[in-house]
Amino acid sequence: MVAQKEAFLDFLGLKRNPFPVSPDSEYFFLPSRIDALISEVLHSIFTRKGFLVLTGEVGLGKTTISRRILRLLDGEGVESALVFNTFLQGSDLLNEIVRDFGIATKDETMQGRIEALNRFLMDRYAMGRNCAIIIDDAQNLSTESLELIRMISNLEANAEKLVQILLVGQPELIDKLNTHEMRQLKSRVVVHAEVLPLSQEELKQYVYFKLNTAGSQGGVQITDRIFKTMHALTGGNPRRINNLMDRCLYGLFAYNTHRISKRLLLEVAAEVGFGMPKWPWKRWAFRGGPVLVVVTGLAWVVLHPDSFPRGEGGGSVSVELAKAKTMQRHAEAEAAKARAAQEKA
């Protein structure tokens, strides 16, 4: 298996797999808007804004962004506690925060640990140091745990926040914060940054960035048309892009080629369960029904008459065109009937 992996990398001129399954914070693709998002979060932490929220759908790179933020905070002397296991609730969550800060306390009660945390934060504040708590997958936090986070965020000195808190989670986190019980916590949120999918151009930049940092010297050929299909298949989700590209690279090795074709792309998409590309016009086709199909066919006939057989005597496509027009009128009449029926209902 190892030999096969090395052969696959050698064939494509790569030093390592450019598209690993696990988050790869060492080779971090940084489009301008993500750079701006990270800068906003860092500025809010440096200026002791208090409470921040970062949300995004699964696979958009929230954990990778969190790790980059943590690394940048460490470089600026900010002491941080990072919580990944959000299935820890209440006192267990507090224990994890205290442990990650390296705080030693003999009092095992929740009140005792909060007091120990407060003393630690006050000491750091007196030293001119800042502290941050980053909680990943925060949508899993219970109401009790979110209330605990609110209590911790209340710790202040000279009207300045002793600890800055960044909650990172899926959109369900916002749903929780919008509930009546969480209104006090929501009112403390000073920044809500949202991670969005990659655009088609960003997807192209992302793929080439990953390939180039893995040592590619043009060993993988991808056309803009393939990138367009890839974006339709993945929705610009980096995790899905990684999954798709990883299988495509193995496909290139298996087929002894360096060019990702549409056939290979769709084969791989079916293999990983992505299905057919989600083109925007699919929604229109569903709503427009047969009218769109007929009109599209009619437009093709008009624009490309030479692609259809001509009738006897050198005539153009009068028969096919007449049929298309008849079908169009019929479809429009059926659509009108359907609309009238809906209005009566």
More confident residue, 104 or 54: 54
Q: Which CATH class is domain 32-194?
A: alpha beta
- Average pLDDT (120-140) is 95
What is the helix (H) or strand (E) element at residue 63, kind and residue range? helix 62-75
Residue 83: left if φ>0, alpha if ψ -120 to 50, beta else—which one? Answer: beta
pLDDT digits (tens, 9 = 90+) for 217-226: 888 999 999 9
The residue to which tokens 């911790």 are assigned: 152
Domain positions in the chain are 2-18+198-271, 32-194, 284-335
Per-chain mean pLDDT for the chain: 83
Range with the poorest average pLDDT among 11-20, 275-284, 302-311: 302-311
Comparing CA positions, the residue from 220, 48, 52, 215 lying closest to residue 130 is 48
User: For the chain, what is the total number of helices (H) and then of strands (E)?
Assistant: 15, 7
pLDDT band at residue 120 under the 50/70/90 scheme: very high
Name 125's Cβ contacts closer than 8 Å, sequence gap at least 6: 157, 160, 162
pLDDT digits (tens, 9 = 90+) for 331-345: 455 555 555 555 554
pTM of the model: 0.75
Q: Is the pLDDT of residue 286 over 90?
A: no
- Average pLDDT (262-287) is 71
- Average pLDDT (146-167) is 93
Q: Quick one: 285 exposed, middle or buried, by C-beta within 10 A (0-12, 13-18, 19+)?
A: middle
Q: Is the pLDDT of residue 321 over 80?
A: no
User: Does the domain spanning 2-18+198-271 belong to CATH 1.10.10.10?
Assistant: no
Give the span between the Cα atoms of 41 and 192, in whole angstroms. 9
pLDDT digits (tens, 9 = 90+) for 200-255: 999 999 999 999 999 998 889 999 999 999 999 999 999 999 999 999 999 999 99
pLDDT at 341: 53
pLDDT digits (tens, 9 = 90+) for 56-83: 999 999 999 999 999 999 999 999 999 9
